[in-house]
Structures are given as structure tokens and as C-alpha cells.
Amino acid sequence: MALPDAAPDRTLQHRRRIDVEVFSRGDGLWEVDARLTDVKTRDVMLGSGLRKAGELIHDLLLRLVIDEQFNVVAAGSDSRVMPYPGSCDDLGEGYGRLVGLNLMQNFRQAVRKQLGGMQGCTHLTEMSQTLPTAVVQAFAGIVLDVRGDGGEKPFQIDRCRALRADGDAVREHYPRWFRQAAVSPAADTSPSAAAPSPPLSQESTP
């Protein structure tokens, strides 16, 4: 479906930015910093007081330390700007509970289960959902073989619609791993394939 046209007279009311940076540390571990900011273009009265147009409403940082098998070995968050100081940042153990999870093994579901709703911060939990694919991008060509040079199927094949093994992109760019889609046999419409007639002893209805 085509992108809807932007209305010529639309007016910006709110801007949310999510920025994810992934750093190699040189010791086999990596750091993932995810930052979320919210800003409004108008003055807004919050329960905690007035925020002027352009002032930050949220400035939240989530940091994971991961190994090259996608395991989270350290994690934590820092709520720098928030609507309700003393409450928004009162997360207890909070995002340290992500330690032990694996970004490629039901990570999103586990985060929602452990930190969804009133168990965590809505915005930090939502932002965490972007991290698995961001780390895959960072690992591509360094940790992950995305060309198949090592003789194994490139990591990304069969992980999205464009790169399905029977698709045109794989046929063109990764022909070694192209697989023709299975074709289901055509339905047999011959008379012999029709449903059998009831036994002669069985009464039939008009």
C-alpha cells in the first residue's frame, strides 16, 4: 500500500525520538544504549507542573551489555527527565531484570512479561522492543556472517519477507541458498476423484 500523502496544512504537536547506539568494547562484550526523548511544540500542564514548548518531557536511557551470543550480561536504566520525579524513576531492580535474557530467544515477550504495565516504565519497555534487530545490524559482517563466506547460510535469509529463501532477492543476491517454492499438486477434478456415492443400502433423500 502506498504511503498516505501528508496534509499540506498539518501542524507538528509532538516529537518522539528513539536513538539506539551499539558499541564494541574490545573485550568480547558490546554495549547497547537506547535513548528516548519526548518534546511538545506547545506549553502543556502536567500533573507535576507546566512544561514549556520545546522542553523535554522524557529523556530516558536504557543500557544493555551483551556478549556475542546475544546474552544480556548487565542492564540498567536512567530516567533523566520525566513527568513525575520520584515516581517515574522509582523502578527498584527494574531493568536489571533483563540480565540473563537472550535478544534472539523470545526477548520481547520476556520483557513484556517481566516489565510490562505497572511492573516497569511504559516507554523503556516499548523502546526495548527495538533492540534485537538493532543489535543484528551492528553484528552484521562482524559477528554474523551475512554473505555466506564461511559456507553457512547467511543469517538474514528467511527472517523477513524480502529475504525469504524462495524470493527474488535471494535468487539474485544469494543464489547458492535460493530454494524454489514448493508447488502444491493441482486439485484432481476428474470424476474418479469426486466424493464416493453412498452405499446402495443407504437411503437417499430427494
Q: Give the pLDDT confidence of 132-187 residue by residue, as tens digits.
A: 999 999 999 999 988 888 788 888 899 899 999 999 999 999 988 898 876 655 54
| pLDDT over 70 percentage in the chain | 88
Over residues 85-93, the mean pLDDT reads 88
- What's the pLDDT at 200? 37
Q: For the residues 55-68, what does the mean pLDDT come to?
A: 97
Segment 39-57 shows an average pLDDT of 95
In the predicted structure, residue 194 carries a pLDDT above the cut 70: no
d(CA 190, CA 178): 35
pLDDT tens digits, one per residue of 6-43: 999 999 999 999 999 999 999 999 999 999 999 999 99
Please give the Cα distance from 163 to 172 (Å, whole number): 11
- Residue 188: Cβ-neighbour burial (10 angstroms; 0-12, 13-18, 19+): exposed
Q: What are phi and psi of 125, to 5 degrees?
A: -65, -45
